[in-house]
Structure 1
Amino acid sequence: MEELEPPSVIMAALATLSPPRLTDLSHSIFSEVHQHRRRLTFILSSPTLFSLTLRHLNSLSLSHKSLLLARFLLSALRRLSRPFQSPSKLLPYHPSTAAISPQDLDAAVLLLLLCEVRQHNPAALRTPITKWRATLCRIYSESLLTISGLATGGGGALIPYIDTVVRCWKFVGFVGSCGGKVRREVAASPMAVVELPSVAVGGGGGTVECVICKEEMGEGRDACKLPCDHLFHWLCILPWLRKRNTCPCCRFQLPTDDVFGEIQRLWEILFKVGSTMCTSDGDE
């Protein structure tokens, strides 16, 4: 089976949303894009700020650049994946996993612009670095004139936004710790674990076994219930979730405070919906 391209899968997933939910998402994306473009315009219009931002960017190692874009990507994936998560399975995440300082946000939006220019117009960056700001201003102004929908809101910002998400994903996948075929084990977020409910194991003539210790859970005793509805002894599931964020039965993933692990989790939610949509269309 031919491997599906990330932009196609994301667009296929978004196509499953109802018009009102897609409109809400589009407006949310437009607001974020508008904020980032205003920030980038401010950077390019100020020689001092541009110089400081470029100096900060150049001071970062490749791994730090990857983490910078990972936080940027995680914020976008939270926005894109939220409509596909049922309210009963939405658990809290630690805000710091996507928190980004104003200085780092400036570096991120400038880095994304530099990556885009290097991809589509590499000759522009072969000029002396002292001329970069003027060159980038010209290229950025020309690109704004060709993007439809930015002035009105709507879906015009959707495709450029998805292109940016995919570009970040590829960069983080190559340099960082996500995007590989082998999943890393990461701990569940403590905030998500605290939110897990205790439930009393009922009677009804049936027995409930904790798959971790292989022992029955006594009737009337409190058990931990994961969002996937599987039950476990609290004393069994807590050590498990300190090492991995998956359900021992069905591999349902809880939120994690690991940035790359959380990117992988949210990316898979989008891909599950989008790839199913693409496959069903291909079978018709």
Structure 2
Amino acid sequence: MKGDVWRRARQIVQALSFLVFLISIVYVGPSERKPWSALAPDTLLRLDPLAAAAAMLAQRRWVASFAPALFVVGATLALGRFWCGWLCPLGALIDWFSPRSALGRKPPSSQWRTIKYSLLFLILFAALLGNLTLTILDPLAVFLRSLAVAILPAFNWLVTQMEIVLYRVTFLRGFLGTVDRALRGTVLSYEQPYYGAGFLFAGLLVGILSLSFLARRAWCRYLCPLGALLGLLAKVSWIKRKVSSACVGCGLCERECTMGPIDAGEDYASDNGECILCMRCAASC
């Protein structure tokens, strides 16, 4: 019962975190109508330790604007990969869009995890050489840019087309005008935005979500460079999953886990660098 409470708490925090990131795109930025226009559009990106490390390596100096990333680093050293399981908006999307058919499917070899560490090394090495191109694979960058340059422009176009069609209905004109005045300049743009990179980021987001047909949280398991960085920090975290003497070896925890760190051959112990504190094991025990 206690484990189920933690699992529900995580789901609530995930949803709230996702909402905060969504609001940061819609209501933050240079506009008279945006309530938090004084904040930089990339405010929440400054929580990202990978983006911080890459920026500092590229500039070869301390970048004060990325100081909030120290909170995530410190919390990861204390709690483990809580960011991945509780706060990452891309991780939340992956959880929500994961097909049920992936639950019973045998995932690829755990050796595939070396890919994310290789990507982490390449991103940091390229940053050291002054090239930040590969930070396009940072999960926060993927989520925020996909939202800003692909999803919201598409939503803007769709709403505008619906307004054009519905405006022909006379009694709806007043209502449509009220809604339009309320949304333009915040949720919707006055002019239709178009970004050349929109299709790139939309394709990248769809590709990441589609990986869940291969295995649950496949992106997080095998490819996410930020997850790799946080996983290295989490290996020495204070909070670790422990198996009590009451364990009967039923294997439910291993089957329910979305990341696959639990090893039945090691008395169901888990790799702390891969555990994202999803609490599914505790809820199923």
- TM norm structure 2: 0.28
- TM norm structure 1: 0.28
Of structures 1 and 2, the larger Rg is shown by: 1
